[in-house]
Amino acid sequence: MAEALRIGIAGLGTVGASVVRVLGEKAAELTRQCGRDLVVTAVSARDRSRQRGIELGSAKWFDDPVDLARHADIDVFVELIGGDANPALACVQAALEAGKHVVTANKALLARHGVALAEIAERKGVVLNYEAAVAGGIPIIKTMREAMAGNSVSRVFGILNGTCNYILTRMEAEGLSFDACLKDAQRLGYAEADPTFDIEGHDTAHKLAILTSLAFGCRISADDIYMEGISNITQADIRAAGELGYRIKLLGVAQHTESGIEQRVHPTMVPTASVIAQVHGVTNAVAVETDILGELLLSGPGAGGNATASAVVGDIADIAKSRPGFQHAPVFGRPATELRPYKRARMRSHEGGYFIRLTVYDRVGVFAAVAGRMADNEISLESIVQHGSIAAEPGTKTVILVTHATSEAAVRKAVESITSDGHLTDKPQVIRIERAD
């Protein structure tokens, strides 16, 4: 049997503790699968005295994770600290430069520094694995990086944040407000005390940026993602979507077009009959559209200690199974030095059109004025109706418009004009309708 794989883990929070637990409980099975023992020989965390419910055995404790990363007696450094700055960045860089394999669940770190870290890993001939960084326990990274050779990807999209999907699911199923669902998500541990990173789309954007690089062979560009969160979604939107045959989901979408790559994160109406509309609660799902395979959809647990630990342990096991001289797959599917510069796509027509909800004064001529502003911007309407089932204040009416394919710029300009005309009593709501078949 080959020598044991020596593992150093930095970060012993929920995920780190789960990884240690799984490696201990599944030790015999992992040894059979990998042909060698997987042993945690060193750890680092901020608080030595904290009770974590795990057995660390004879593992050496490091107060400084950078010292752990350089430690001669580890083969694999597992970074579970989080964040896109130090100490996470410093210790991953140190481990790679020292010739250690690295496993991380840190999507923020990869979204900001992934290409630079990949260049170090490939120069040193070591592995940088990050399955747990995107969609928790779903094996989307391995699938896209290793199992889809020869396929050209045209679009990748999905539900990448369990907190948002949980909130939207509860809003629809139980008729609750956004605020009520958010408070419940916080009570259950699905949302942080400060939920901004999740509900405003930042978490989804980081994950999407990584998938975009894998899909299209480009450098990561997290700052070029159009982003909207779900905090402005109301029961009026949920009900109107249902009556129109749609369900609202927060999607991350990356699409290759003739003018470049389009990346966006926003609430989206998807047909109720589509597969992705059936993804409920904290579950994640990722769809990949290719020329050879067609559409592939993977769905499963997107967060939590066990789901993330499963992905981390899987990455460690892949390293354990490899042998000296084995050529590892490039970190982002292609050599990091050959990743193309990211080219942002020009504004284009959105295939699925738009849902627009307006609360207007109940007076003569408003319908005509709204339709006129749409026509001024060359927007073709599939329907424009007064929505009687959505409650409005006395003296006001709710108007629902559904457009045919048109550009984002045209919709925004038309809505701004309607607002300037003084017809609205409340902020307008604009939600894209996405093809999700």
Question: Nearest to residue 118, comparing CAs of 258, 213, 49, 11?
Answer: 213
Two tokens at 10?
A: 């930095």
pLDDT value, residue 325: 65
Percent of the chain at pLDDT > 70 equals: 97
pLDDT for the residue 394: 80
Q: Evaluate whether 2 touches 35 at the Cβ level (below 8 Å).
A: yes
Check residue 328 and give its pLDDT: 81
Looking at residue 164, its pLDDT comes to 96
Residue type, 243: E
- Each residue of 40-76: pLDDT tens digit? 999 999 988 788 888 888 899 999 999 999 999 999 9
Q: Would you name the residues annotated as active-site residues? A: 207
Strand partners, 256: 261
Low-confidence ranges of the chain (pLDDT < 50): none
Cβ contacts of residue 290 below 8 Å, gap of 6+?
Answer: 148, 151, 152, 153, 154, 296
Q: Which secondary-structure segment (H or E) carries 65?
A: helix 65-70
pLDDT attached to residue 391: 55
Strands (DSSP E) found in 175-230: 226-227
Query: What is the tally of helices (H) and strands (E) in the chain?
Result: 14, 18
Helix, strand or coil, per DSSP, at residue 295: strand
pLDDT score, position 372: 94
- Predicted confidence (pLDDT) per residue in 13-35, tens digit: 999 999 999 999 999 999 999 99
Instruction: Please name the residues in contact with 372: beta carbons below 8 A apart, sequence gap of 6 or more.
Output: none
Residue length, the chain? 437
212: buried, middle or exposed (CB in 10 Å: 19+, 13-18, 0-12)?
Answer: buried
d(CA 8, CA 101): 10
pLDDT value of position 6: 98
- The pLDDT assigned to 193 comes to 87
